[in-house]
Structure 1
Amino acid sequence: MSSAEGMVGREVELALAAAAVHDLSEGRASALVIEGEAGIGKTRLVECVVDDARSRRVAVYGGQAHPFERSRPFGVVAAALGLSRRSPDPRRAAIGELLAGRGLGAPASAAGDIQYRVVEEIVDLVESTCSESPVLLVAEDIHWADSASLLTILSVARQLPLAALLVVVTARPSPQPAQLERLLADLAAGGARTLRLQPLSSEEVAALAREVLGASPGPALTAMLAKAGGNPLWAVAMVRSLADEGLLRRIGDIVDVTTSELPASLGDLVVRRLRDLPPATLELLQVTAVLGDAVSLRDVAAVTGRPPAQVVGQLSHAFDAQLLDEADERVVFRHQLVHDAIYQHVPPPARRLLHREAAVVLMAGGADRLDVADHLILGAERGDEQAAAWLRDAAREASAQAPSVTVELMRRAEALLPGGHREADLVSAELVQALLRAGKVAEASTRAQTVLARHHATEVDTPLRVALVGALALQNRAAELVAVVQASLAGSARLQPSDQVLMLAQQSWALTYTGDPRAGEASAGQGLAIAEQASDPAMTVWALTALMVAVGRQGRFGEALTHARRAALLAADSPDTRSLPLQPKFFLGLALFDCDLVGEARAAYRDALDDEFGAGWWLSETLMADAQASFAIGEWDDAVPGLIAGGQAAQEKGNPLLVSQSLAYRAIIATAVGDHRAASELTAGIAASLDGDQLSYNAGVLAFAVAGLRAAEGDQQAAYDLLLRCWRFDAARESRFYHRCLAPDLVRLGLALGHRDVAAEVAGAVAKGVALAPEVPTVQSLALRCQGMVDGEVEPMLQAVSLARQAPLLVEHAGACEDAARLLAQGGRRDESAALLTEALERYEQAGADAWAGRVRGRLRALGVRPGSRGSRHRPAGGWESLTTTEQAVSRLVAEGLTNGAVARRLYISPHTVNTHLRHVFAKLGVSNRVALAAVVHHAIE
């Protein structure tokens, strides 16, 4: 690296950085985190990385966070990638439109997933750029970055692990905001290497001084340099300052100092230099420091009211004093420590006044509120109503792109209002809404309760109650939610019909998911009546969706589907429903799936993913539902990547219930293929949730996963106890949703362990469910199967098999075949038994369920039947033929040059899922980049 000349004591870090750039030039992705205190050499190391990358024809994109720009959403990333409405590149200009709040195509109330859309667009832009040449993406000083930028950096690194991309970030070790700590932890978990720059040793400081002076430092100078504490910036500044002031002398081959006094810090040294500047230059320099560490001369001129030419001339002295530099048409301080020293030298009252004046002048000149919000935050004092109003307006601008930024702006606006201000309650209500949108639900509920508990403005009562209900729902605080709803509905304040419906729908979900679906149904029905009377399509969709969930949990699947179809049709015909944080097509898919209409369900999920309105709200749920559908029909090669992607999306969204479902289904697959070690690791993450007094609403599938592993390991009693506990829990709450998961194994294990009474009880309960959903084949099949096992009668079991064949569900179909085959064998009907076992074997082999297939093979051998060779499901270990159908489809699209996002949209999956497929493809084909993959694809399809 040519720019490495003059870098002392960083040989190890330079070598690691060079290795990362070399890997990048060969198409391999990685990430570097460079940590260290101010002045330790982070920027110099980045310069070396950039120079090396450019020498290898790598495309370099870099941005730097600034201390007074934290309220600008996507600031660092936008600067690095040139995301501006004025960009000549249409894609960058389009993203710039999104960042400016334009081009959203959706009403403001639906803007909750605009941040998600922006992030996905940026990820896709970076990936498409990587397809043209390797890319180095640098984000410096991310300890000052806004939350949206941090999210984007993480998403780029996480979603593009197979692109020719090197992500480099720099940060100070402390203090680090919580969001930055999470980003660095996630990057490390993804394989990022952290380079922590330590202070230089005394020998290295001496070597650095020797490079600057052209001679070795003498003993007195060496002792003085020890005050730098190994900080190279301070050491170099010390040497240069001594030289500029004529305090060094050469004695033979060494240079020594003629004074024993020197400022104790770099800041003091900068302040000493300020004394030599003309007053006009010092004044301008202080204004420049208040404006930021990288400032437009035009802004300096505007704030000071001086002609630009005069500003340039007066600042020339600061350039001569090596305090300022130029970069990208901006005035920049030579180092952040230089900026900090000058900024801190301005008395605090003067700093506040300058920040306030800067905000006024810049906004009068047409600057965006978000670009000057930090100046308002730093310059306004309590009682500044105008500043509070500006910050509230800025918060509204940021709400779509960066909810977390909105929260901080609203906090400051609230703090500026004097006590008892007429709009204090309104601002508090706006802050509660911002907290809720930013996912800070616990604080949102606490603040809402605080305001509601005291005397407050009438106009904020209903918005606060609605927000409180939403926050309590997200925290699963059902009892409190119901209490708030009941008090609100019975209160003196008149609620609008839409508010009543919203509250009743939230109450319905709370009651349903905490074990009282009948009460949930009543609440949803009440809301539906109000919505229909008011002829409000959006609220009717809310109520119908809640009603669908409530009746579905009770096992009335056909009725739930009717409600879901109506909600989806109503939403399609009513544009105002787009303002809802709901996705009716997703809920329609759930209802279709529960009725065994798996193909239609997956089409509904695809429609939901296609729909730009609300897609972000329900992304993780939709991905998980589609992956579960793949599992259910035995397409496990697709199910596993989908489950992993759904789990990742749920983790990002903070949805632990979906994370546990991802683990459960993957554990079931691991058990079925015979990988008990993997199954144990997966169930370790969910077993604890099955131990408490209260079980989660998805406990049925979790229990099915854990019990299946216990039974496979030979502990039938543990499996039985767990299934029975979940069964009792659901039965007490009249929930039939997980009957198909729990009942067959519970009946079989109950009979095997001598608990015939329990088996009969379960079979009887399942039989009653047929009347609630007579049109669903697997519901009928389940009842016949369970009763047949209890009674030992073959004919009901054969009817169960016939019904199970009408649905594409693997576990239900093959399980019915196995149970019927057992009774047939006991009755001496060996040929019929073997035929059903062979039918089950084919389904298991197609899915790759080797352990379950092995169990069936054993039973066939016991009947004297020697199963044939394994089916075509078992592919070669490597080469094109080893790829699954989906992997081949992904490979073809990637070979055409499509990005992960484009492939995901084409195949109705997610970029996460595409990544997982590509990892498998690269491993099977023995390739390391997309170019090599394209060559394999072209050869295979010739």
Structure 2
Amino acid sequence: MMRGRGAEWATILRLLGTAADTAGNVVLVEGEPGMGKSLLLAEAATVAAARGTAVATGRADELGRLTPLGPLLSALAEWPPPVALARGDSPDGPGLLMWLAEQVRTTLERRTESEPLLVTLDDLHWADPATLMALRTLPSRLASHPLAWLLARRTTSEYGDSGRLFDLLEEEGATRIRVLPLDDGAVAEVIADTLGAAPGEELAALSAQAGGNPFLLLELLTGLREEDAVRVRSGVARLTGTALPQRVHTAVRRRLGEVSTKTRHLLEATAVLGRSFSPAYAAEMLGETPAALLPALEEAIAAGVLAATSDELMFRYELVWRSIVETVPAPVRQALHHQIERNPPARQPPRHQRADGSSAETLVLLSLLAWDEGRLSRGLDLAREAAEMPGSGRHPQPRAVLTTMLTDLWLLDEAETALAGATEEAVGQPEWTAEIPVLRARLDLTAGRLGSAIEHAEAGLTAADTLGVPALAASALSVLGAASLRAGDLPRAIRYLKNDLARGPQGAPPYVRLRSELAAGRINEAHGGAASGMSSLSRVYDALPRHTGALTSEPTAAAWLVRVAMAVQDERRADAVVDAAEGIAWRNPCLLNPSVAAAHARGVRDRDPEALVRAMTEHTDPWARASAAEDLGVLLSADLDARDLAVDSLNSALVCYGSVEAIRDAARVRGRLRGLGERRRHWVRTDHPVSGWASLTGTEQAVCDLVAQGLTNRQAAEQMFISEHTVAFHLRQVFRKLGIHSRVELARLAAQQSVRPDH
């Protein structure tokens, strides 16, 4: 009997009772590792078989991701008699997945013609995309058949596609079961079942260290019994020793085997500090910055080993923490203790800690964790609090983090104040000083001061290279690429992108890595179209909804990511972005920008003019307003009766883009207006010499840059949003003014002249 799972089991029994029906036949089971999901599925299969229902059981595994439809195919192969798929007649290439999915569907239809069927699929957090796509449609397509589905996934891993699948199935009527830790009464019942007696006080306390996790609890109790570490007298089970049984250590080692070596070493080192610890002190002890530890800490949280409290990190289960400490080799444990004794964590420095002992560095790291998860209000509150406490001089500076967050939210006045404080506080702190021009560059970029943004980002890049801070260099390069692209200088943006790719920091914090990848995607999309942009964005999409740093780094990011996904007909990823953006808005009801950004993304996804009008009127960033107005104009231009409204929207976009010097975006809107029969001048008359480089106009210089890179007239026209004939005209003017007759000569002269400095 499964203790503490009465409600969950009742739901599954109802599913088994309706297996022969055609409604309410999908149950979703999810929970942390060790909560008993697999046991529920196994018991359900046993009961179904006893009732005369056919059963097909499958399971995903981490390595099985390489096998399309693996869990479903393994479930089919378990049926008696074995199911034979005519693999010899299968197509090659891309058609194979479609063929396999159709074989699965027809086989299920055939099997349910004579008897009801229960399909159980476990560990779907490891399922391959083809399996998840099949499960998205099979329950509804086979709703008229006597077929029941029991699907299970782990919840501590990144939400990912399996979580989105469960959301969609639940919206369509599936029943969702969240398997939670056992309560105290159920724990006592499990102890009595396993040991045949009620627990004594010490055994009850030890069992509580399993945190209600059935797997850990049973491993503990079984191990104690196997090692004769418990004795029953007068109906009470009492401990005879204090050491954890080997069975627990084996289980914990298996759990740690699911994380990277770096994360495992981090957990072993921090366990010595205690069950809860300050991330800032852990970084100091390991000779790292808190930001450098962020990827490993996030992996440990995703694996369910660590949990974040309001101000610290702690081991989720005391039993796991104890096992890690006890299995660290004694010499290593002693060395770590000696290190802590020589440099203990400060306990009462009043200017650097709150009353609860949290340092500025700890608050900064927790604010970044909250921000990365889309809890912007919480992250901002923690950053503001950290900014009031002087830090240690290590990167990142609290006021710098606060400036970045305020800039992302377009709270520019407060960001300017925070930056002024960061500048003053950075005196005498080299890494902090190097960060100031990068912060200024991001502020200038957000405010539309592109020339100033490029100038300050160049200074920040030089300082970052001098000090050897790769994460700061990556931030500077992402600003340089974005500013150059907006300014219409695609060749320069591409050079910055190549520079960033060549030096890209390994293990950079997610908030740095995702910003860089978003900038790379924008540049690649501008250069090679939506498909090229998608090639740089897979990690940005796949990180959602757990890591939302790309969506919060600029107000149009969500809408742009939806637009790119829709351009390549990837509706799944477009929906994932909209869901993540709306999740951010829901978690931050007091902030306006996330809600407007979500409306913009939803408007693009659903082609909803009302949502786009809201975004156009409520975006606080002029560039974002222009983007929403352009999206609205494109949508309305498809309706002949709305042509005038489309022109008005595009004109609004043109004005807003012009106000922030977004030359490339303005050129694209002019192209859209020309398509509607409207022409807008895009040049400014200035006095030029009659020949030589100085005689070239801005448009001629842009043509020169693109052609010198080897682009054809058609490719250059696509980049500049003008016709191929216009490019040819400007190119003839360039040849005449420079006294040349070929593209080869132009490329040679451009290299000699260095019209655009290479970085």
- TM-score for the superposition, normalised by structure 2: 0.46
Structure with larger Rg: 1
- TM-score for the superposition, normalised by structure 1: 0.38
The structure whose residues are more often helix, as a share, is 1
